[in-house]
Amino acid sequence: MEPILSRHFDRPEARTLEGYRAAGGYEAFRKALALGPAGIAAEVKKANLRGLGGAGFPTGTKWGFIPQKRTGPVYLVVNADEGEPGTFKDRYILERDPHALIEGMLIAAYAIDCQTSFVYIRGEYVRPWRVFSEAAAEAEAAGLLGPDILGSGFGHRIIVHRGAGAYICGEETGLISSLEGYKGWPKVKPPFPAIRGAFGQPTVVNNVETLATLPHIVARGGEWFAGLGTKTQGGTRLYSVSGHVVRPGVYEAPVSITLRELIERAGGVPPGRRLKAVVPGGASAPLLRADEIDVSMDVDGLRAAGTMAGSAGVIVMDDTTCIPEALHVVARFYAHESCGQCTPCRECTGWIYRITGRILAGKGVPADPDTILDVARRGAGSTICAFYDGAIGPYISYVEKFRAEFDHHIRHGACDVRPNGGPARAAGH
């Protein structure tokens, strides 16, 4: 398969503006200027581009929510707060193909009539921040950013804003709150960001990879992009594969690839082990068992399979994995990262984490797995943002699909999976 999004990842020369241009960079932006905002939006809609940060929302539709009648600027906010466990593809784009992101941003900004964009980079990404900032400086020096770019009359500037360590700042309104200088508390909706977002203005929040896809869509056409994928989602995407695989890394594939094929490309599980379970779309995606991996990795295919494409973070677990311990690790993450603003998430992420800890410590009671399931289900759809809906993905799927393992821990106070037996080693905060 011809690399598209990943074509520059192993070509350090393409990271400079000169190298990027030599490879044809910024020609798509020129073409976008000629297409005009409506033309760009049409191509993006034709492309069936779905958001690649986690929600899978159609990008063209999202742009269309910006009201025609408005006062004040429109802002583009780039969500570079990559944080979904198992996901690292945005980091690759920031570090290895920063100009692709800048070019994509310019195309999107031009399409939505935006003169100022903010790139919110998670605080831990130091090298990616330096590389990207350098690329933005290069672009500005070359007149690709600033007033009147390429004589088009369109001006644009990028403000790079570093996060300070909070997964919830990857939620679009949590990100906006953080950008505005507050705690990363997601905002009550309505109003939605397209109507009132950053600094009270109409705002589009797009993921890094989603934007990096735009130069290709504009250059080769939305129809071409759509044809690479399924009927409802076009193109390729970058899958981050990690966990118990021989070759963890970023793998670009059409969205129609199956999970089995993807795992095989990453070398499968280590020799002598068997596949047990896979998280297909970042930690928030419900687990799939080893017998459920013949599923197409597009947004709608995975939704039909009872899970989600999310951020395309694929975490592979072989038969040395204790699922209750894995749930404890994931539950710890959600308890740690809950912003605490609304009742269901604040209280239940902590509670469920403590239940899993008690199970691993050999002090589980028979009602515990049903308590986890009931508490998780009761909170679905009840919160300010989808963080808790993400949390209940693993809460429910790990317990439902591996109930016997939980019951064993509770009945025997020990693990029957790990070679050493005894209480699991996952420690507390």
Site for other proteins in 187-226 (CB under 8 A): 188, 190, 198-199, 201
Q: Which residues contact 291 (CB under 8 A, 6 or more apart)?
A: none
- Min dist CB 42 to other proteins, Å, is 30
Strands 275-279 and 157-162: unpaired
Is 120:78 a contact under the CB 8 Å cutoff? yes
Is 96:9 a contact under the CB 8 Å cutoff? yes
Q: Cβ closer to other proteins: 121 or 214?
A: 121
Q: Which of 366, 352, 317, 270 is nearest to 85 (CA)?
A: 317
Indicate the angle between helix axes 403-412 and 368-379, nearest 10 degrees: 140
Question: What are the contacts of 7-12 at 24+ separation with CB within 8 A?
Answer: 8/96, 8/97, 8/100, 9/92, 9/96, 9/97, 9/250, 10/96, 12/96
Site string for other proteins, 5-44 (x = CB under 8 A): ----------------------------------------
182 binds other proteins, rule: CB under 8 A = yes
Amino acid occupying residue 15 = R
CA distance 288 to 273: 17
Q: Cβ closer to other proteins: 59 or 349?
A: 349
Dihedral pair phi/psi, residue 45, rounded to 5°: -70, -40
335 binds other proteins, rule: CB under 8 A = yes
Span from 47-55, 59-67, 79-87, 414-422 in contact with other proteins (CB under 8 A):
79-87
Tell me the two tokens of residue 33.
């200027």
Indicate the angle between helix axes 208-220 and 98-112, nearest 10 degrees: 80
Give just the sign of the alpha carbon dihedral 249, 59, 80, 345: negative
427 binds other proteins, rule: CB under 8 A = yes
Among 122, 156, 216, 237, binds other proteins (CB under 8 A): 122
Binding residues for other proteins restricted to 270-289, rule: CB under 8 A: 279, 283
419 binds other proteins, rule: CB under 8 A = no
Binding residues for other proteins restricted to 345-404, rule: CB under 8 A: 346-351, 354-355, 358, 365, 367, 371, 378-379, 381-384
Span from 5-13, 43-51, 55-63, 86-94 in contact with other proteins (CB under 8 A):
86-94
- Min dist CB 138 to other proteins, Å, is 20
Among 337, 360, 392, 415, binds other proteins (CB under 8 A): 337
Span from 51-59, 182-190, 217-225, 401-409 in contact with other proteins (CB under 8 A):
182-190
Q: Cβ closer to other proteins: 146 or 165?
A: 165
Q: Cβ closer to other proteins: 173 or 230?
A: 173
What 3-state DSSP class applies to 207?
Answer: strand
Indicate the angle between helix axes 98-112 and 27-46, nearest 10 degrees: 60
Tell me the two tokens of residue 404.
């016997």
Q: Cβ closer to other proteins: 234 or 248?
A: 248
- Min dist CB 342 to other proteins, Å, is 5
Binding residues for other proteins restricted to 304-323, rule: CB under 8 A: 313, 315, 317, 321
Site string for other proteins, 123-152 (x = CB under 8 A): xxxxx-------------------------
DSSP symbols for 78-128: EEE---STT--HHHHHHHH-HHHHHHHHHHHHHHHTEEEEEEEE-TT-HHH
332 binds other proteins, rule: CB under 8 A = yes
Span from 4-12, 248-256, 257-265, 292-300 in contact with other proteins (CB under 8 A):
248-256
293 binds other proteins, rule: CB under 8 A = no
- Min dist CB 142 to other proteins, Å, is 21
Q: Could you tell me the CA-to-CA distances from 341 to 85, 102, 143, 261, 346 in Å, in that order?
A: 22, 34, 43, 41, 7
